[in-house]
Amino acid sequence: MGLLDNRVAVITGAAQGIGLEIARAYLAEGARVVLGDINGEAAEKSAAELVAATPGAAAIGARCDVTSEEEVGALVKRASSEFDGLDVMVNNAGITRDATMRKMTLEDFRAVLDVHLVGSWLGTRAAGAVMRERKRGSIVNISSISGKVGMLGQTNYSSAKAGMVGLTKAAAKELAYLNVRVNAIQPGLIRTAMTEALREDIWQQKLSEIPMGRAAEPAEVASVALFLASDLSSYMTGTVLEVTGGRYM
């Protein structure tokens, strides 16, 4: 028996990185998964590769621009129609447009808030509408430690990630009586293609702030997302779990 047997999960931003690892973890525990991504072809390719690597797995990939109410609704509807329900929603899609506040454009500020915060609100609302009728479900919002402490050059990203914490807590209060749980994860320094492109001095400076002395692998975030999706966290809602190696504790 897997932790997510007979459950259906939707994950945004799932063609690569943390989202893809969450999809992999969910499939391994018996879930049927819909991978949404702004790059629909990449989502379809990743879904096919996961199915090929996991005997008996069921996964589909689809394009989803999380800033579009229609596309988010269509992604949730596809999960419900093709897999007969929705039990888990992971709002993971994200972008960065880093610059100091003096140099950041209003366009770049709004773009980051639209993807992270508005996208998570649209995903939470669409999933919540299905889950409230089923009287069960788990919504997981992927925030960031940047939303706790604020990062230089990331007034847009830090604002969006902090807003996701407020969204998580407010939505959790609205949906708790329906047995729908809403929780958030705040990852710290995760070893991804984006972070590995950092200059060596910046990478080392970030590592020096981590008591455990290393960056996390995407699978280490995925395991926490698995915990929040499963019945192991059945009495948890409105919580924010830090996956940071002790950074900024």
Q: For residue 239, what pLDDT is reported?
A: 98
Q: Which two tokens stand for residue 125?
A: 């609302």
pLDDT, tens digit, for every residue of 113-145?
A: 999 999 999 999 999 999 999 999 999 999 999
Q: For residue 195, what pLDDT is reported?
A: 82
Summary mean pLDDT of the chain = 96
Edge to edge, the sheet with strand 240-243 lists 58-63, 32-37, 8-12, 88-91, 137-142, 180-187, 240-243
pLDDT, tens digit, for every residue of 207-216?
A: 999 999 999 9
CB atoms within 10 A of CB 89: 32
- Residue 182: strand, helix, or coil: strand
Q: What percent of the chain has pLDDT over 90?
A: 95
196 confidence band (pLDDT: 50, 70, 90): confident
1 confidence band (pLDDT: 50, 70, 90): confident
pLDDT of 44 over the 90 cut: yes
Distance CA 147, CA 233 (A): 23
Top-confidence residue, 54 or 179: 179
pLDDT, tens digit, for every residue of 223-234?
A: 999 999 999 999
Q: For residue 120, what pLDDT is reported?
A: 98
Cα-to-chain-centroid distance, residue 223: 12
Cα-to-chain-centroid distance, residue 240: 13
pLDDT of 197 over the 90 cut: no
pLDDT of 194 over the 80 cut: no
Q: For residue 224, what pLDDT is reported?
A: 98
Spatial CA neighbour of 127 closest among 164, 89, 96, 158: 89
Catalytically active residues are 157
Residues 6+ apart with CB under 8 A from 116: 93, 94, 95, 157, 160, 161, 163, 164
pLDDT of 101 over the 80 cut: yes
Q: For residue 193, what pLDDT is reported?
A: 77
Q: Where are the domains of the chain?
A: 8-236
Residues 6+ apart with CB under 8 A from 135: 178, 179, 180
Q: Any idea which architecture 8-236 has in CATH?
A: 3-Layer(aba) Sandwich (3.40)
